[in-house]
Chains A and B, each alone.
Chain A
Amino acid sequence: MKILVPFKSVPDPSGTTVPGAAVSAPKSVINPFDEIAIEEALRIRERGEATEIVGVTIGGPATDEQIRFALAMGIDRAIRIDDSRALDPYAVARILRALVEKETPDVVIMGKQAVDDDSNQVGQMLAALLAWPQATFVSKIEFLDNKTRARCTRETDAGLEVIEINLPAIITTDLRLNEPRYVSLPGLMKARRKPIEILTCEQLGVTAQPLTTVLSTTPPPKRVAGTRVESVEELVAKLRQEAKVL
């Protein structure tokens, strides 16, 4: 079985800077949900159910750092689709469809959403474009019937839903699927020697013009420190007058 794991580079959600760096650059990491997808693929391979894991990301040369991280985690090979444009989910899904047609994986596992724009659309769009079954928000994956089907547990608002889908299929991962392993320094050093295949949209024969334009991005307002109230009366008054929730 061959697994394709698309992943996205996002600004580090932990927001940590590197202390002591004379020139500090904003740090990017693999989207945490995608990291869970990579981890799941590795576990499936470790159980002997997969033979190859291919990682793919879309971006400029700067994303090579995240690709090496994925290689260091243990994926077999990586592809970067060289495109630094600000893409929207539909454009990403169309590019990925072209790559899926080229790579012909048995299953695509990816994060349910990226933590930068929280779109939560690419997996579903990719499934629709390929006309493949999909299991989204998955917290457990089992393969059945000689790996022709997958039983997936989905986390929904109503509770856990178990569905069975035919392969090939798209699976998007939720937070509780697993806890990704940490990348070791020897792994990272070895990953530097693994080649990264670079492809362009032209080579894939896809023109994916974004349909949406981001007009502006602003950080959320800073949280202000809380205050201590002396009495229930004061609390209720503040909830009425300041928070306006009562």
Chain B
Amino acid sequence: MIVKSFRLPRIGTPQILAFLTILMADRLVSPQFFDIRLQDGRLFGSLVDVFNRGAPVALLSLGMVLVIATRGIDLSVGAVMAIAGAIAASLVDGHSVPVALGAALGVGLLCGLWNGFLVAVLRIQPIVATLILMVAGRGIAQLITEGRIVTFSSPSLAWFGNGSVLGIPAPIAISLGMLLLTLLLVRGTALGVLIEAVGANARASELAGIGTQAITIAAYVWCGLCSAVAGVISAADILGADANNSGLWLELDAILAVVVGGTSLFGGRFSLILAVFGALIIQAMNTGILLSGYRPELNLVVKAVVVIAVLLLQSPRLAGFGYWFNSKGTT
């Protein structure tokens, strides 16, 4: 059918267009924007920077999109980043790297399990349930670091921030790996469609025999893991854990990335790849404003404008060309 052949390019068109437009705008303010050099076996350049700096939010949005698809939200991702970073940084100079890393990721999973338990079993509203860990989590991270910035010297852990794989900076490679892993986990199995079913109509899903509690918990657990990975990367990046600032307010960027990626806050249909695009759009704006020499405060205003533009492009209400872009999957 003709309608069918139109379907694929229609999904995601607004996000990809927005991303390209912002890159072009970045090129206007900074003529060297697309220049990429290879130095010490690692790629450098503004464009590489967009991906590299965007990695933590991209990772957060991978987990966040699953949680939002279940009709939930996770406000604690920034705090979980701080906890994971604090644990990795404090353990790595006394224990081996796998132990430090395992502990950080394990705690991320536990945090996700806690959120999932509050939401799915105790049936607390997600925004309230995860607010608990958002507030408490940063306190826990500060307790771990004893209020200091814990620095470390392990080059193996530092690799997560500064290393590279075949010239690709490690944060980008890790994020890409996590994206593929998440895609495999949710789209390679039936988990994705079950999450969509639970998010779109939990009652009907329950009656169709879906274990809605387990599905919901799984989404929060994965979100916890993704946050922990992001936390390790951002700690490795500065060779230390700053419990006060690591991941601060990034939950909002992650939610924004998911929404810009076309996933409804009312749950249901979701797209992992477009959520990552959402994160990249946000980072491309940040980088552009830094390069342009404008005051960084302007960033917030520009962000708002771009978000409105992308949401308008997705709106089914927008007649004419808007109709064309309207992604079919989200109705």
Q: Answer yes or no: do A and B interact.
A: no
